[in-house]
């Protein structure tokens, strides 16, 4: 690869700057130009909700390096010898002449700049449904720093807000607004929060916990219009409700910016994003695409998918930087690994969800287990709830999801690593993971959940989901709901139903003959550990119709008996 290569990169937020920086390290004499239509470049978009709720003190921190230097045009020129043209729009790509037509948005001048290699890192734009009233003052998006500054101008005066969309951005924005003591409601067209991220069971628990912290949800509702007074929004009208709102934040989702690629005749995939191969090459051998404008491949399914994430964008940018410099680096795809935080609850996922796996043709087995993220006696211990999805028969790990105020990130990252190498449940259990009371329990929660699924698969612990228990209660089924929690737990979080029989686990064996053998018994406790012990004791005593409620009360999210 010639050292005086002309590399032009269109897009200056995440993938583009990463590709430029990597190419510069490999090609010290290359002529590298980055073009972006905004005046904001190389910013931490994922940090914007944290500035909104005050966790980040300064707006400039979103643009700083780790050594406190602003990443602007001067920074890229001085430290990396990379020319960045901000407020400059790329209008057209001439693939024959290998040139890009650009326009200075301030002065209007147009000119062609040549390239040897071209990188499209044009990102994505927010989806703005054509709601009536979307142009009212007080209706915002949060797609770039300009949006953030506009939102910050009025947020101090807001008492009630509505967020439209319960995806990543919507949930983080809702958490930030709620942390400012703003009454916040999330409206979502789907019947659950974080659709496509969490399965319904974990999403239901998270909804219940966030409601207890002041966030309201209007799920399964379609926004019809925004209404206002004196030109400013005051209400959101859905097909089921009218919600007061002094501020509305639109977070419906994003779509890839592909206009330039379309005009240049590049292939667009079925997902609507730019089709690329394993080297991030487009259908033109001299043009690469990376970041939120490009397709991914799901590692487990082998299918093309569109999952715009900052982590993927940066990894793709590095691969593109390698390949523009003549290397042959591959980008092998994604598992959709993602983390977010709402209020004090963390959310994580990797691989396939239960329904996703089934849609791809896998027969699945699952287990959900609440656990402590470190030793229970350590003052910083907290709750995590993990769900493991595995392939029936082989036990191959297909996905892991988790929620909770405790430490989820390392469990999700271990799972992502394991899935990438084709690990089974047995492999997970055999991992030699680190332990010390400030960091972990003696058996890591991920391993604990894998063990639970192995026990389920072997028939050692027949289980029933909390949703199935709720349905049985609603139908009026005649069964025993055996509560083996302590008296204090029972009194503080009661399951208020006449079918509940409270027998403390420590007294179960001496009272076992007083329990009816004719009725089905569903055993429950707080985390699910004692109910497992109780089930085995009952089985040993000859009881045949016994199941344990999966996840115990920590997984309960139904009705007035769902105490938190």
- Residues serving a catalytic function are 46
Question: What is the number of other CB atoms lying within 10 angstroms of the CB of residue 383?
Answer: 17
Give the span between the Cα atoms of 562 and 467, in whole angstroms: 11
SS3 content of the chain, % helix, strand, coil (to 5): 30, 25, 45
Beta strands in 115-241 (DSSP E): 117-120, 124-126, 139-140, 160-164, 183-188, 215-219, 223-229, 232-238
Give the DSSP letter string of 284-352: STTEEE-GGGB-EEBTTT--EE----HHHHHHHHHHHHHHHTT-------B---EEEEETTEEEEEEE-
Alpha-carbon distance of 114 to 8, in angstroms, equals: 8
Distance CA 392, CA 203 (A): 24
For residues 332-366, b (16+ Cβ closer than 10 Å) or e, as one string? ebbbbbbbbbbbebbbbbbbbbbebbeeeebebbb
Q: What is the DSSP letter of 216?
A: E
Q: Which two tokens stand for residue 461?
A: 């612990």
Contact by Cβ (8 Å): 141, 250: yes
Task: Say if residues 443 and 431 touch (Cβ distance below 8 Å).
Answer: no
Q: For residue 426, how many other CB atoms are within 10 A of its CB?
A: 10
Q: Are 29 and 43 in contact (CB under 8 A)?
A: no
Q: Give DSSP secondary structure letters for 161-187.
A: EEEE--SHHHHHHHHHHHHTT-EEEEE
* H helices present in 396-486, as ranges: 409-420, 425-430, 445-458, 466-475
């Amino acid at each position: 690869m010639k050292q005086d290569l002309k590399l032009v990169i269109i897009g200056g937020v995440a993938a583009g700057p990463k590709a430029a920086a990597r190419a510069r390290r490999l090609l010290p004499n290359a002529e590298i130009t980055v073009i972006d239509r905004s005046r904001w470049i190389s910013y931490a978009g994922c940090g914007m909700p944290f500035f909104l709720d005050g966790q980040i003190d300064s707006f400039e921190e979103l643009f700083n390096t780790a050594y406190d230097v602003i990443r602007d045009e001067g920074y890229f020129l001085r430290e990396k010898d990379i020319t960045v043209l901000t407020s400059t729009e790329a209008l057209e790509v001439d693939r024959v002449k290998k040139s890009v037509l650009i326009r200075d948005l301030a002065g209007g001048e147009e000119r062609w700049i040549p390239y040897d290699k071209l990188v499209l890192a044009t990102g994505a734009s927010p989806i703005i449904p054509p709601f009536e009233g979307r142009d009212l003052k007080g209706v915002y998006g949060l797609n770039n720093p300009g949006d953030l500054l506009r939102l910050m101008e009025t947020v101090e005066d807001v008492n009630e807000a509505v967020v439209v969309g319960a995806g990543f951005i919507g949930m983080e924005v809702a958490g930030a607004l709620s942390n400012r003591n703003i009454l916040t409601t999330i409206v979502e067209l789907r019947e659950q929060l974080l659709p496509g991220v969490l399965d319904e069971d974990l999403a239901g628990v998270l909804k219940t916990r966030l409601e207890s912290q002041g966030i309201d949800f209007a799920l399964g509702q379609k926004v019809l219009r925004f209404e206002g007074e004196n030109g400013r929004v005051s209400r959101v009208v859905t097909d089921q409700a009218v919600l007061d709102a002094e501020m509305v934040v639109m977070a419906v989702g994003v779509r890839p910016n592909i206009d330039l690629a379309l005009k240049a005749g590049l292939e667009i995939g079925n997902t609507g994003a730019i089709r690329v191969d394993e080297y991030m090459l487009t259908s033109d051998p001299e043009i690469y695409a990376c970041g939120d404008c490009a397709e991914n491949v799901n590692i487990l399914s082998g299918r093309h998918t569109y999952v715009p994430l900052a982590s993927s964008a940066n990894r793709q940018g590095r691969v593109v930087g390698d390949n523009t410099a003549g290397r042959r680096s591959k980008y092998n795809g994604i598992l959709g690994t993602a983390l977010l935080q709402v209020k004090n609850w963390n959310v994580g996922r990797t691989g396939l969800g239960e329904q996703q796996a089934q849609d791809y043709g896998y027969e699945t087995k699952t287990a959900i287990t609440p656990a402590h993220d470190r030793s229970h006696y350590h003052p910083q211990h907290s709750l995590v709830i993990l769900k493991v999805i595995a392939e029936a028969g082989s036990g191959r790990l297909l996905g892991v999801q988790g929620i909770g105020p405790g430490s989820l990130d390392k469990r999700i990252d271990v799972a992502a690593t394991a899935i990438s190498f084709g690990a089974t449940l047995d492999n997970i259990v055999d991992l030699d993971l680190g332990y010390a009371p400030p960091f972990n329990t003696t058996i890591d929660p991920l391993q604990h959940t894998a063990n639970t699924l192995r026990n389920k698969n072997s028939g050692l612990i027949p289980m029933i989901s909390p949703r199935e228990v709720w349905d049985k209660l609603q139908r009026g089924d005649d069964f025993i709901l055996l509560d083996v929690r302590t008296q204090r737990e029972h009194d503080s979080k009661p399951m208020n139903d006449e079918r509940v029989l409270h027998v403390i686990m420590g007294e179960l064996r001496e009272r076992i003959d007083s329990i009816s053998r004719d009725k089905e018994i569903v055993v429950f406790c707080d985390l699910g550990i004692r109910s497992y012990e109780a089930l085995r004791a009952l089985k040993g005593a000859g009881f045949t119709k016994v199941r344990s409620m999966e996840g115990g009360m920590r997984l309960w999210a139904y009705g007035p008996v769902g105490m938190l």
